[in-house]
Amino acid sequence: MNMRSTDRKEITKEKLVTAVGKVLAKEGFKGLGVNKVARRAGVDKVLVYRYFNGLPGLVKAYSQTVDFWPKVDEILGPDPERVKAMAPDQQVAHFFKSFAAALRKRPATQDILAWELLERNELTRQLEDIRVKTILEYFDCLDKIPEDDNLSAIVVLMGGAVNHLIVKSRIHPFVGNIDLGSEKGWHRVNQGIDLLLKGIFTR
C-alpha cells in the first residue's frame, strides 16, 4: 500500500468517526444507522465494515477520541504534581470539577449523554466503557486515596449529579437560582462539590 492510499484511508476513517459523532448527537442511538453515517461522511457504507467491522466498531473508535471524552491528562490538568500533593478528598473533588469543565467544552458529548438517558443498548455500553476507563486511570495516578467501601458509591452519585447538571444546562441554563450558562454559576457548583466531599475519608 503506497503512501497516497494510506492517507486516503485515514482521511476516510476520520470522516466516518466524525460523522458518527454528529449523527449520534443529533438523532440519538435509535436514529443511528450505517447508511445515515456513510451519507453524512460522504463515503460508501461498505467502508464502515471494511475499516471498523460495522457500527459498534465505529462507535468504539469515536468513543476513544478526545472530541467525545477527555483523556486523564486533561482531567489531571496542567500541574499533575499539584493534584498528587492534595489531600484525598481534594483529589476526588478535583476530578469532578475538572470532569465538569471538560464536558462543558464538548456540546456534542452533552447531547449524546442526554440521549443515553433514554436509550440503553450495546452502543451506549461502548461509550460507558471509555468513561469508566478514564475514571480508573485518574485514580490509578494517585496514591493517597485510601481503599474505602463508600468511594464507588460517592463516584456514582457525584458523577450522576454532574452529568445531570451538564445535560440540563444544555436545555436550560438555570437550575434553581444557579446560572449554569455562566462561569459564576459553575464556580458555585465547584464550591458545592468541595463542601460535599470535604473530609469524606475521615471516620
CB 55, CB 36: distance < 8 Å: no
> Within a 10 A sphere around the Cβ of 152, how many other Cβ atoms?
9
Q: What distance in Å separates the CA atoms of residue 5 and residue 9, rounded to the nearest whole number?
A: 6
High-pLDDT (> 90) share of the chain, %: 72
Whole-model pTM: value is 0.89
> Within a 10 A sphere around the Cβ of 201, how many other Cβ atoms?
16
Rounded to the nearest integer, the mean pLDDT of the chain is 92
Q: Which residue type, as a one-letter code, is found at position 144?
A: K
The pLDDT, as a whole number, for residue 108 is 95
Phi, psi of 106 (to 5 degrees): -125, 80
High-pLDDT (> 70) share of the chain, %: 98
- Residue 1 pLDDT more than 80? no
The pLDDT, as a whole number, for residue 149 is 75
Q: Are strands 178-179 and 174-175 parallel, antiparallel or unpaired?
A: antiparallel
- Picking from 100, 133, 101, 123, the residue whose alpha carbon sits closest to that of residue 30 is 123
The pLDDT, as a whole number, for residue 102 is 96
Label residue 161 by pLDDT band (50, 70, 90).
very high
What is the residue extent of each domain of the chain? 3-60, 72-197
CB 68, CB 108: distance < 8 Å: yes
Q: What distance in Å separates the CA atoms of residue 140 and residue 131, rounded to the nearest whole number?
A: 14
What pLDDT, in 10s, does the model give residues 4-59? 778 889 999 999 999 999 999 999 999 999 999 999 999 999 999 999 999 999 99
For residues 160-173, give the mean pLDDT: 91
What pLDDT, in 10s, does the model give residues 81-123? 999 999 999 999 999 999 999 999 999 999 999 998 888 888 9
- Residue 2 pLDDT more than 70? no
- List residues bridging with 175 in a β-sheet: 178
CA distances from residue 190 to 25, 27, 56, 107, 195 in whole angstroms, order as listed: 27, 31, 35, 20, 9
Q: What distance in Å separates the CA atoms of residue 46 and residue 51, rounded to the nearest whole number?
A: 9
- List residues bridging with 178 in a β-sheet: 175
The three-state secondary structure class of 80 is helix
According to CATH, what is the number of the domain 3-60?
1.10.10.60
